[in-house]
A and B are shown apart, each in its own frame.
Chain A
């Protein structure tokens, strides 16, 4: 094992998240490489010192006793947001709404694309329908004589008499 590979895995070695075989490889390298062993010892010492100093720095810090009342007062001051939360709670009963916002945006985008597809399809279909109707009207001679408001004769098809 190379030194840089060993040092790259030191944090995982400390965490105990390496696989048993990798752990053993690192362990063996540390036993025979003084440079890596020094880095390991330095990190171990650093970790110990930092934990101790943080503990010492913060042990006298305690949460303010009135924080609970303050939080409740703040929540009461935000009726609109509470209402939103209430609405969210109701919506969360429907599985699709009980998802993170990023996923909801993806779902909304998919639905929008689908609807846009349907709309465009409909427009194209309508256009083709109009075109074929126009072609049919052009091909067919629809000249007629209006006899009365209820009857008309088609000049090229005298057998046809259209009555409303």
Chain B
């Protein structure tokens, strides 16, 4: 299922961008932002729970990409490598804050108010509830949920990305899923089959 839905940017081969980046060409940054910018921002937003933080984090990621592109050996896809940098920056930020503060105003920051159709409203409510539930998860659980269901990563890719074993990845994903289900209000729970 996840394999069938591999996003197009994961299938892209970007040697030209990498060469341009290694040569320090400015146009390469624009190209990266054009191809991966929105995707990185969305991932950062889901992981950090804050749009302003997400913009800063993506900016920091791009700066670090430019600084350490020489050490990129092409063992993973460029996007996966950049996402690894983003993940480290988010973890560092969380450590620096040394507190897990969940922003309850987040739904308003992230999106405009929904239109007033009944079905649409239900979906919006579910989406908002899910956003809060996601932010209430512990950082490792949130990371694995975002990697699996937003980044559409396979379980072995997740294990490699997080540098954990396959068994740990599977059990962590299982518990994260359970936690998220429990955090969702019963009447808005779209996860029941």
Contact = CB atoms under 8 A, between A and B. Distances in A.
Interface of A: 8, 11-12, 14-17, 38, 41-47, 49-51, 53-54, 56-58, 60-64, 67-68, 70-72, 74-75, 78, 81-82, 85, 88-89, 92, 98, 100
Nearest to A62: B38
Closest 4 A/B residue pairs (Cβ)? A63-B37, A50-B149, A58-B42, A16-B3
Interface string B139-162: 000000110111010111000000
A47 B126 CA distance: 15
5 contacts: A15-B1, A51-B152, A57-B46, A75-B63, A92-B70
Among A45, A68, A75, A98, chain B packs the most CB atoms within 10 A around the CB of A68
Interface of B: 1-5, 22, 26, 29-30, 33, 37-38, 40-42, 45-46, 51, 54-55, 58-59, 62-63, 66-68, 70-71, 73, 110-112, 123, 126-127, 130-131, 145-146, 148-150, 152, 154-156, 170, 173, 177, 181, 190-193
Given A62-B41, A63-B38, A75-B66, A51 B46 contact: no
Contacts of B26: 72
A70 B57 CA distance: 12
A53 B30 contact: no
B146 to A, nearest CB: 8
Contact of B150 (A14, A54, A81, A98): A54
B158 to A, nearest CB: 9
A92 B193 CA distance: 54
B190 A67 contact: no
A68 B38 contact: no
A112 B63 CA distance: 35
B67 A58 contact: no
B142 to A, nearest CB: 12
A46 B170 CA distance: 15
A72 B192 CA distance: 47
A4 B63 CA distance: 46
B29 A68 contact: yes
